[in-house]
Amino acid sequence: MSYCVFMHRADSIYDDSPAEQYQFPKSYLSRAERCVGDWIVYLEPTKIVQSRGYFAIARVQQIIPDPKAPDMFLAIIEPGSYLDFARNVPFSSEEGPIERGLLNEHGKLSGRAQAAVRPLSAADFARIVELGLDDQDPLLPREGVPPPMPPGLSEATPPYVFEQARARVQQLTSRIARDRIFRKVVLRAYDERCAVTGLKLINGGGRAEVNAAHIRPVEENGPDIVTNGIALSGTAHWMFDRGLISLTDDLQILISRQANDAESIRGFINRTGNAHPPARDADRPHPHFLRWHREARFKQ
């Protein structure tokens, strides 16, 4: 087993769903097989405008031939393992590429940087994870936050870095930490504004009075990915969870016919009747999560 980088873009021609599966051609099969049972890091290409860089981690459960496409394969992501980074990690810093393993013997970027699936050293994995899962931010609650890991992981002691990286992932993929990071990622996507009411309320302590709601709940196998999230105020969150409101794929707000005061709800939601979208199209709620909510939770 070993770490890998999977390159992904939201407008990919491949049949990707980062929290569920990653499609790739046969030419990458031997590389991808090495990371079965281990962690991968998702990277958005630098040529994309406002690239997120390294933006998430996940664990590969298995690799299977794609039943719909000859000579294509699917890396199946272990349910519940996907986690968006609290901070997107740029491909390069002032010191050069974050993936030091991409440098050749002359210290220049090698052709390996173009590979959509590639191995990742333990030291590079640890560096990316440490930067990406750094969730110390005023947006988040301070209670119960574990102390930060020591900076400067040594390149000279791979076993230590290897175990440090695994310990860091284990520490920050607990349910408490996942909820904290998910909240930060979703609120950042919606600029801390309730998608249903359009209100952006900040309390006296500087904390946003809005929740990060899972569209498909965790207990129903909903992943911690921004496209399965939506920023909602307390009342809107309550109505959404109980199926009194829902959303179409184009974010039109639906009101249940079983709501006892539909007129008041219409006065409560955005005047346009549409949910306030996130700034990036790539962060919009995914249609299959919205479909699940309409079919499983929304009271028609």
The domain segmentation of the chain, as residue ranges, is: 3-173, 184-296
CA distance 227 to 182: 11
- Range scoring the smallest mean pLDDT among 68-77, 119-128, 143-152, 175-184: 143-152
- Range scoring the smallest mean pLDDT among 83-87, 142-146, 294-298: 142-146
CA distance 176 to 167: 16
Q: Which of 27, 20, 22 is nearest to 9 (CA)?
A: 22
Tell me which CATH code domain 3-173 carries.
3.10.590
Mean pLDDT of 138-150: 42
Query: What is the pTM assigned to this prediction?
Result: 0.82
Instruction: Give the gyration radius of the chain's Cα atoms.
Output: 20
Mean pLDDT of the chain: 87
First to last CA, the chain: 47
Mean pLDDT of 94-119: 91
CA distance 292 to 300: 13
Residue 134, pLDDT > 90, answer: no
Q: Which residues are within 8 A (CB) of 157 and not within 5 positions of it... i.e. 6 or more apart? A: none
> Please, which pLDDT band fits residue 50 given cuts at 50, 70 and 90?
confident
Tell me, what's the pLDDT at 152?
41
> Please, which pLDDT band fits residue 154 given cuts at 50, 70 and 90?
very low
pLDDT cut 70: percent of the chain above it: 86
For 49, counting Cβ atoms within 10 Å of its Cβ (0-12 exposed, 13-18 middle, 19+ buried), the class is exposed
> Please, which pLDDT band fits residue 157 given cuts at 50, 70 and 90?
very low
Tell me, what's the pLDDT at 250?
97
More confident site: 159 or 17: 17
Longest dimension (CA), the chain: 70
Inter-CA distances, 196 with 41, 80, 200, 256, 268, Å: 32, 27, 11, 14, 8
The 10s digit of each residue's pLDDT in 230-243 is 999 999 999 999 99
Taking the alpha carbons of 239, 244, 247, 251 in that order, is the dihedral positive or negative? Answer: negative
Q: Which residues are within 8 A (CB) of 8 and not within 5 positions of it... i.e. 6 or more apart? A: 16, 18, 22, 42, 43, 44
Tell me, what's the pLDDT at 174?
79
For the beta carbon of residue 95, count every other beta carbon within 10 angstroms. 7
Mean pLDDT of 160-174: 66
Mean pLDDT of 155-163: 50
The residue behind tokens 């390996």 is 112
Residue 170, pLDDT > 80, answer: no
What one-character-per-residue DSSP string does 216-259 give?
A: S-GGGT--B-GGGEEEE-HHHHHHHHTTSEEE-TT-BEEE-TT-
Residue 162, pLDDT > 90, answer: no
